[in-house]
Amino acid sequence: MLITKEQIFERAKQSQLWAGNLIAGYQSSSAKLKNYTPIDNSAIGYIADGSAQDVHAAVNIARETFEDGSWSGLSPQERKQVMLRWAQLIEKHSEELAALDCVDAGKPITECLNTDLPATVETFYWYAEAIDKLFGKIAPTGRQEMGLIIHEPIGVVGAVLPWNFPAQMFAWKVAPALAVGNSVIVKPAELTSLSAYRMVELAYEAGVPKGALSLVCGLGEKVGEALGRHPDVDVVSFTGSTEVGRLFLKYSAESNLKEIVLECGGKSPQVVFEDADLDAAIPHIMAAAFWNMSENCSCGSRLIVHENVKKTLLEKLTAATSTWQVGDPREAGVSIGPMIEQAHFEKVKSFLDTTVKEGGKLVTGGKIRSDLGSGWYIEPTIFDAVTPEMSLFRHEVFGPILAVTSFKTDDEAVNLANDTHYGLAASFYSQNVHRVMNIARRINAGTVSVNGFSEGNITTPFGGFRQSGFGGKDNGLEAFEQYTQTKVIWFINQ
């Protein structure tokens, strides 16, 4: 039965939404956590309060399933058919899943329906279709020998998800990891577990063996750490803060040296040169800066602009912010919803006062919309005269505050863009093809977009440099690399 967004919104009002542990042949305890929506800070239901014992049970069944070959032993074509059925079910239930992410994360429903869920569906279809088109290699040898170079599933995968794109990040990790034959244990963010729970249910309906895909909900310090330290987990793929990413490296070092894949924070630059087409750039700059309430790792939170066009650009951006409506994310047309929780709201809010004290000049915005719901709503805000020494230039805010810094020369622009511990994404604007080629190579970022804001698409690997992460990439065929291991089989003909 299909469920509409209106029905999800009503169930949320009645506190009837639930996300529990899904572990084959195992009954978790009845412990649960109350789940609140950032829209108005009201209770919308509960999630399971998972434990290390739950993780251990999930790992045991994952390993058993991997070894018995009920999923890992299927041919790529057989797994493909199951993955395609799952993709079709997710597509069929897109409205329900979009509404779950809306109430769980405070994301605008329009974005969930038109961006997040279509991208989620595309990811599942793409990896389902890709899995039977991967080939190994044959080593160059003489007639007396033959060397096969093959890729095998790594085993038990822990996927630890962020709260900012719940359904889409589930797809980015689970689709390639499962398609290649692994057993996967998903730990969704405790703030946003609803869509993950529903998608795992749909996976079982599609024919994914329950032992090959488990869900353990709960707190990071209990469930996430248990996954990171478990001696029978082969790899943990984590998206989230750099601080927590460091912890997973520690967990691995202190346990079985499992592989750790990190996609962490960012402080991405947007560089606007003197010859840029400003009118064409405006919607891209706005999207990079404020899309998803700026709760986005690749958020273009530093606008580095040539001094000769800064005044004109700021006038155009100020006018553009008025079209970004702040409000209840369940309503169509709303672009900016609430911050995810009060602690995060307070952190973002602190940058408003700190930037003024440090010498930044408020251009537009800066107001807290305490009249809306939870009160965790912040207008799109732009500060000018931000220098590299200021907190707003250096630290990831994860909220709708844009820092503007001016430059005179190309070298100065590149130095400012690269003046960060991160290196996830960058964008720049110029009509000079020689400058474009030169600057794109000099900026230290995993994805550099030219004359527009983009993270690439499903075919291109996504991941960063420096403290933005390492160990593997999401998206593209490269995503399979973090979930497989390479084996050489050597034949001797004597």
CA distance 301 to 117: 25
CB atoms closer than 10 angstroms to residue 431: 13
Q: Is 159 helix (H, G, I), strand (E, B) or coil?
A: strand
CA distance 292 to 419: 25
> At residue 467, what are phi and psi to the nearest 5 degrees?
-80, 5
> At residue 253, what are phi and psi to the nearest 5 degrees?
-65, -35
How crowded is the C-beta side of 415, counted as CA atoms within 13 Å? 9
Take residue 198 and report the two structure tokens written for it: 């529903």
CB atoms closer than 10 angstroms to residue 184: 27
Specify which residues 368 forms β-bridges with.
378
User: H/E element holding 118?
Assistant: helix 117-130
Q: Which amino acid is at 280?
A: A
Tokens 């930044």 identify what position?
A: 360
CA distance 186 to 220: 12
CA distance 93 to 196: 13
Question: Which residue among the candidates 263, 295, 396, 481 is catalytic per the annotation?
Answer: 263
Specify which residues 490 forms β-bridges with.
147
Could you tell me how many residues make up the chain? 494
CA distance 420 to 266: 9
Cα end-to-end span (Å), the chain = 63
201 is catalytic: no
Catalytic (active-site) positions: 263
